[in-house]
């Protein structure tokens, strides 16, 4: 296949800098063909095999990509996949030293002890004999490092544990089912032999959703959905596709693009996360303004449970059919069954795709721009506003310029700071992606220009906009690089009403600084925020927090304590527990501050009713634990509807 992901653009550069073929014309039928009855419905697609592209077991991403320090003490981006790949970044380490106020030694490395001590597997002979009747030998794996990988996601606690400590409990076996029937047989075998099943997609979660209960004495089996990765059919007339739950984002995007379509769902983890994971975590993507969140994109879902298969026939664009069991699956995090496939909306590839970057004097100016953008009724596919510190970071991730490029960069900086009056320690940046027809994109650009001028913005060019958007994928590797430099880092997000955006960001930054100071930790904390999604009723803010920990006892636990304090401050300031990451084990203790005891009880009753043996025993959300009766819960101080308001999904807005 020649088309590169996420979809064919109109220029020559792909997402990661290669060559792109022309955009294929989507086979969308005309209205006259619809009336005459000559259009096709569902078109089955032949099986395809994505090109093998192994992922790292102990760090984020691909083994050939990442960051390293050269013999000269300069950071270099390894590999070839991303726009940043191959670049030397001479400003990164000096900038980091200044920000965290620690004299980082470029050659001081915290060597990983991966894989460390791996727990011995619990063996259930009855289950092993049962699955041997319907699974081939290559569908069963008990390799220690592969088991370890299925036992964690990508929180800093988990990644620190596999490199410098140990996970006390991991899956005992991995199975790779190939179809729904094999999954149904797996579920029955698990029930018959009292085994725990944990679905595994891309392993990209940051909620400890895959964390195994250290007190679980039963055999734990990771159900890896890797082989159920097909786009089964497309329907060009009704703009739908049937996709298996194990389809990885980069592959399903490529496959749909072959036929001129896109699903439009692009989370930051697109390269590695799966459709099933998106549904199970109630995910959101960077272009939700145009395409919607995952709940807007899913029209049907198939789930294997202990009582059989949850599925439907004759699904319409909207139905009023009473309580719909399929809706329970969104955000279920593996607690109720195994998602096997879904019917999703698809869209013709956009006729036009453009990028833009805008500089604003302050974060407040940028937030005001984003707010007015939601009132315009003419939204870009994506709009993200980074604060000053994150803007500075993006500048350090540029390759060193020379000659005319250096002169040009110097002149541009002088213009921004001297003639426009922007201050280097206050200015922020907004990156935008426009998609649609020529007419739609032109209208979006005009709206952005008008509102940008209103809020003292200055256009920074399409190249910077594209670079800022695509940097998301390359920057994900930084966390593992700086972990080797004794720096722990993590991201967390929240949604809140518009009037709480600026005060919430200020309060969270202040709380983290206070908690860092109370513990007498080295240097100062790194805290940055971006407005990453916008709604009519509010916005989503994404935080990055890091600190230097050399000489600190139990640094991962210290980090976790400070992050919990930050989450406490988020809730106190009117933010949500999570916008799109989910709950897992990491945030379950905060649920009583979100739901009433009655609501928590309903979830537990549902779990007990549909899985009385807890064979889908992920333990996420604390769903098998007693309903907490803690002070500070919603039941202790019933709030008004206004006090509890956070942005909700509003269709595509």
Q: Domains along the chain?
A: 112-349 (3.30.465.10), 352-449 (3.30.70.3450), 479-644 (3.30.300.330)
In the structure encoding, which two tokens stand for residue 227, read together? 């082989």
- Residue 113 and residue 91: Cα distance in Å, rounded? 29
Alpha carbon 193 to chain centroid, angstroms: 35
Long-range contacts of the stretch 595-598 (C-beta < 8 A, 24+): 595/634, 596/633, 596/634, 596/635, 597/627, 597/629, 597/633, 597/635
Answer whether 622's CB lies under 8 Å from 577's CB: no
Give the per-residue pLDDT at 123.
Answer: 98
- Residue 431 and residue 411: Cα distance in Å, rounded? 22
CA distances to 49, 243, 283, 436 from 251, in Å: 10, 11, 18, 23
For residue 590, report the phi and psi dihedrals to the nearest 5 degrees. Answer: -90, -10
Give the per-residue pLDDT at 469.
Answer: 85
- Computed on alpha carbons and rounded to an integer, the radius of gyration of the chain in Å comes to 25
Could you tell me which residues come within 8 angstroms of residue 71 by beta carbon, excluding any fewer than 6 positions away?
none
Quote the strand ranges of 142-235, DSSP E.
Answer: 173-175, 196-200, 220-224, 231-235
- Residue 119 and residue 19: Cα distance in Å, rounded? 46
H-helix or E-strand containing 354?
Answer: strand 352-360
β-pair partners for 197: 221
Could you tell me which residues come within 8 angstroms of residue 38 by beta carbon, excluding any fewer than 6 positions away?
29
H-helix or E-strand containing 604?
Answer: helix 597-610
Could you tell me which residues come within 8 angstroms of residue 214 by beta carbon, excluding any fewer than 6 positions away?
168, 169
Give the per-residue pLDDT at 642.
Answer: 42
- Residue 183 and residue 339: Cα distance in Å, rounded? 10
Q: What is the DSSP string of 615-627?
A: -S---GGGTTSPP
**pLDDT tens string 278-311:** 999 999 999 999 999 999 999 999 999 999 999 8
Answer whether 526's CB lies under 8 Å from 489's CB: yes
Query: Could you list the active site residues?
Result: 542
pLDDT, mean of each 10-residue run, the chain (653 residues) = 28 30 55 70 93 94 98 96 94 97 97 98 99 98 99 98 98 99 98 99 98 98 98 96 98 97 97 98 98 97 96 83 90 98 98 97 99 97 98 90 54 66 93 98 98 96 90 90 98 98 99 99 98 98 98 98 99 98 98 95 96 96 83 50 44 38
**pLDDT tens string 577-635:** 999 999 999 999 999 999 999 999 999 999 999 999 999 999 999 999 998 765 455 55
Q: Return the DSSP state at 336.
A: S
Give the per-residue pLDDT at 639.
Answer: 44
In the structure encoding, which two tokens stand for residue 600, read together? 């928590």
Answer whether 345's CB lies under 8 Å from 297's CB: yes
Angle in degrees, CA 537, 541, 543, rounded to 5: 170
Q: Return the DSSP state at 290.
A: H
Nearest to 378 by CA among 434, 430, 337: 434
Give the per-residue pLDDT at 476.
Answer: 86
- Residue 562 and residue 568: Cα distance in Å, rounded? 10
Give buried/exposed letters for 349-381 (b at 16+ CB in 10 A, else e). Answer: bbebbbbbbbbbbbbebbbbbbbebbeeeebbb
Q: Return the DSSP state at 225.
A: -
Answer whether 617's CB lies under 8 Å from 625's CB: no
Cβ atoms within 10 A of the Cβ of 87, count? 16
For residue 177, report the phi and psi dihedrals to the nearest 5 degrees. Answer: -65, 150
Give the per-residue pLDDT at 649.
Answer: 42
């Amino acid at each position: 296949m020649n088309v590169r992901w996420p979809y064919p653009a109109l220029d020559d550069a792909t997402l990661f800098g290669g060559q792109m073929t022309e955009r294929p014309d989507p086979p969308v039928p005309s209205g006259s063909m619809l009336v005459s009855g000559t259009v096709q419905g569902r078109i089955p697609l032949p099986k395809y095999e994505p090109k093998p592209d192994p992922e790292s077991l102990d760090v984020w991403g691909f083994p050939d990509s990442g960051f390293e320090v050269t013999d000269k003490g300069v950071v270099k981006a390894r590999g070839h996949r991303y726009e940043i790949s191959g670049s030397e970044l001479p400003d990164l380490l000096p900038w980091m030293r200044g920000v965290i106020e620690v004299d980082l030694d470029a050659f001081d490395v915290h060597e990983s002890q991966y894989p460390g001590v791996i727990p011995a597997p619990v063996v259930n002979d009855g289950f092993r004999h049962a699955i041997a009747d319907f699974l081939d030998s290559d569908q069963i794996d008990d390799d220690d490092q592969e088991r370890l990988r299925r036992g964690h996601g990508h929180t800093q606690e988990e990644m620190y544990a596999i490199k410098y400590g140990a996970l006390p409990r991991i899956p005992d076996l991995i199975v790779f089912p190939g179809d729904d029937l094999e999954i149904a047989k797996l579920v029955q075998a698990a029930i018959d032999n009292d085994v725990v099943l944990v679905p595994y997609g891309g392993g990209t979660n940051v909620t400890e959703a895959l964390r195994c209960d250290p007190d679980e004495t039963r055999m734990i089996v990771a159900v890896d959905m890797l082989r159920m990765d097909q786009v089964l059919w497309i329907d060009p007339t009704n703009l739908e596709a049937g996709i298996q739950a194990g389809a990885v984002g980069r592959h399903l995007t490529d496959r749909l693009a072959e036929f001129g379509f896109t699903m439009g769902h692009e989370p930051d983890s697109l390269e590695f996360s799966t459709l099933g994971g998106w549904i199970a975590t109630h995910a959101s993507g960077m272009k939700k303004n145009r395409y919607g969140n995952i709940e807007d994109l899913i029209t049907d879902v198939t789930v294997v449970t202990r009582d059989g298969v949850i599925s439907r026939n004759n699904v319409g664009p909207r139905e009023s059919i009473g309580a719909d069991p399929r809706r329970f699956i969104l955000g279920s995090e593996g607690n109720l069954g195994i998602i096997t496939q879904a019917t999703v909306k698809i869209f013709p590839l956009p006729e036009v795709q453009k990028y833009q970057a805008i500089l604003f004097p302050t974060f407040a100016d940028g937030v005001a721009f984003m707010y007015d953008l939601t009132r315009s009724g003419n939204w870009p596919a994506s709009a993200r506003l980074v604060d000053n510190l994150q803007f500075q970071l993006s500048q350090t991730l540029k390759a060193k310029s020379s000659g005319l490029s250096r002169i040009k960069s110097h002149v541009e900086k002088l213009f921004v700071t001297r003639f426009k009056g922007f201050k280097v320690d206050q200015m922020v940046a907004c990156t935008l992606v426009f998609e649609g027809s020529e007419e739609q994109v032109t209208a979006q650009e005009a709206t952005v220009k008008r509102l940008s001028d209103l809020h003292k913005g200055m256009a920074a060019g399409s190249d910077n906009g594209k670079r800022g958007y695509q940097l998301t994928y390359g920057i994900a590797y930084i966390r593992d690089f700086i972990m080797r430099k004794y720096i722990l880092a993590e991201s967390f997000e929240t949604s809140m009403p518009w009037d709480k955006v600026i005060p919430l960001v200020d309060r969270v930054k202040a709380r983290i600084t206070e908690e860092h100071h109370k513990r007498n930790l080295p240097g100062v904390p790194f805290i940055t925020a971006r407005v990453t999604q916008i709604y009519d009723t509010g916005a989503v803010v994404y935080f990055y927090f890091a600190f230097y920990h050399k000489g600190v006892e139990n640094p991962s636990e210290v980090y976790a304590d400070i992050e919990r304090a930050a989450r406490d401050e988020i809730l106190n300031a009117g933010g949500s527990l999570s916008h799109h990451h989910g709950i897992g084990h990491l945030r379950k203790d905060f649920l009583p501050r979100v739901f009433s005891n009655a609501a928590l009880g309903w979830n537990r009753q549902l779990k007990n009713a549909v899985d009385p043996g807890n064979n889908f025993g992920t333990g996420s959300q604390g769903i098998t634990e007693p309903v907490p009766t803690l002070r500070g819960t919603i039941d202790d101080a019933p709030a008004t509807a206004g006090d509890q308001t956070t942005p909700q999904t509003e269709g595509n807005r």
